[in-house]
């Protein structure tokens, strides 16, 4: 059997193991909470899935190009408060307010990309710094206080609670963004450029790929999707909260690394499966009335285990693949 066939078989084994674990977890929750497998509850779980999965989707692009983003949760707080400010204080309608929030997130994503891609600054440190700066700016809108004004009358609530043919808007956002991201990252020449930048920079340069542009694009996508996610959360809560987006950080990273541990590389499908697993566990523990901190413990443990597994698999892959094979695959 060829190396490629062996690798294919081993990759499918990890996917099958993950799916068995997922089915087992769902079976346990179904036994402990009979309402778990009802249509209403599963739709509720999908709606919750959109909260963390979109932020994780954006983060996937950054991980694909070989970098880390610690700012997206803080930037999302700024975007959420920007939208809330224009709705509650200025009195704008929802659509232009949402656009202003997204622009805020895109700007900070661009700054991240410039700092990391052009000036070669350490991604972990610079994104923490830029994220902290964005979070500080978010406090200036209303001195850190909640913004309630006009939320119930402006129509922004429909941004989260609205339905189309009985399907909640967040579920539509979820599948729309994931389908577009999948087609872009896995089915286009431009998307393969992200993987080339992350796997072998030298090969990417010789292939004529503009590395800096891809890095900037990855960070812009990360911060924009996180901003969109927090604005959906803000609309659901009915107020602007300067700390609302902080809950995205840990679940998003966990979802990405769960996907890496399954597919041995960051992928759109892997991130979706990781986010789905976390959402199912969150929903199940909620039905069981478990203490809120139980989920934090499980997400943290899942993240650690996923990182360990992904590191082990990465080392195996490095030993098995020669530099020439790596260059050819990236090219």
The model's pLDDT over 63-74, given as tens digits with 9 standing for 90+, comes to: 999 999 999 999
- Alpha helix stretches (DSSP H) within 238-289: 249-263, 268-287
* 255 token code pair: 């979802």
Helix (H) or strand (E) holding 168: strand 167-168
Query: Cβ-count burial of 25 within 10 angstroms (0-12 exposed, 13-18 middle, 19+ buried)?
Result: middle
Domain ranges of the chain: 42-330
What would the DSSP string read from start to end of 208-230? T--HHHHHHHHHHHHHHHHHHHH
Number of Cβ atoms within 10 Å of the Cβ of 267: 20
- Fold that domain 42-330 belongs to in CATH: ABC transporter involved in vitamin B12 uptake, BtuC (1.10.3470)
pLDDT at 2: 57
pLDDT in tens, 154-188: 999 999 999 998 889 999 999 999 999 999 999 99
Percentage above 90 pLDDT, the chain: 63
CA distances from 304 to 115, 150, 193, 281 (A): 28, 42, 29, 17
Give the DSSP H or E segment for 83: helix 72-85
Whole-angstrom Cα distance, residue 145 to residue 196?
44
Digit-coded pLDDT (tens) for 256-293: 999 998 888 999 999 999 999 988 888 888 888 888 77
């Amino acid at each position: 059997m060829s190396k490629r066939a062996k690798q294919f078989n081993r990759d499918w084994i990890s996917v099958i193991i993950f799916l068995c674990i997922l089915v087992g977890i769902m079976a346990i929750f179904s036994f402990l909470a009979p309402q778990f497998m009802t249509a209403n509850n599963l739709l509720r779980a999908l709606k919750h899935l959109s909260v963390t999965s979109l932020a994780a989707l954006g983060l996937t692009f950054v991980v694909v190009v070989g970098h880390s983003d610690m700012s997206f949760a803080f930037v999302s707080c700024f975007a959420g408060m920007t939208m809330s400010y224009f709705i509650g204080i200025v009195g704008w309608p929802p659509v232009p307010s949402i656009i202003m929030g997204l622009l805020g997130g895109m700007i900070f994503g661009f700054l991240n990309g410039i700092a990391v891609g052009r000036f070669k600054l350490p991604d972990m440190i610079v994104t923490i710094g830029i994220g902290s700066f964005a979070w500080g700016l978010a406090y200036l809108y209303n001195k850190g206080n909640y913004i309630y004004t006009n939320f119930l009358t402006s129509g922004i609530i429909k941004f989260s609670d609205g339905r189309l043919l009985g399907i909640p808007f967040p579920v539509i956002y979820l599948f729309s963004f994931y389908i577009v991201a999948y087609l872009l990252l896995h089915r286009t020449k431009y998307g393969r450029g992200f993987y080339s930048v992350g796997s072998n920079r030298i090969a990417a340069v010789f292939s004529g790929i503009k590395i800096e542009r891809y890095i900037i694009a990855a960070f812009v996508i990360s911060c924009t999707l996180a901003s969109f996610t927090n604005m959906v959360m803000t609309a659901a809560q009915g107020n602007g909260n300067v700390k609302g987006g902080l809950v995205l950080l840990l679940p998003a990273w966990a979802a990405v690394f769960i996907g890496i541990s399954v597919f041995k590389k960051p992928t759109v499908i892997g991130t979706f499966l990781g986010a789905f697993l976390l959402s199912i566990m969150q929903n199940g523990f909620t039905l069981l009335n478990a203490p809120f901190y139980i989920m934090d413990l499980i997400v943290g443990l899942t993240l650690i285990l996923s990182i360990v597994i992904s590191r082990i698999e990465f080392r195996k892959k490095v030993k098995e693949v020669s530099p020439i094979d790596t260059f050819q695959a990236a090219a």
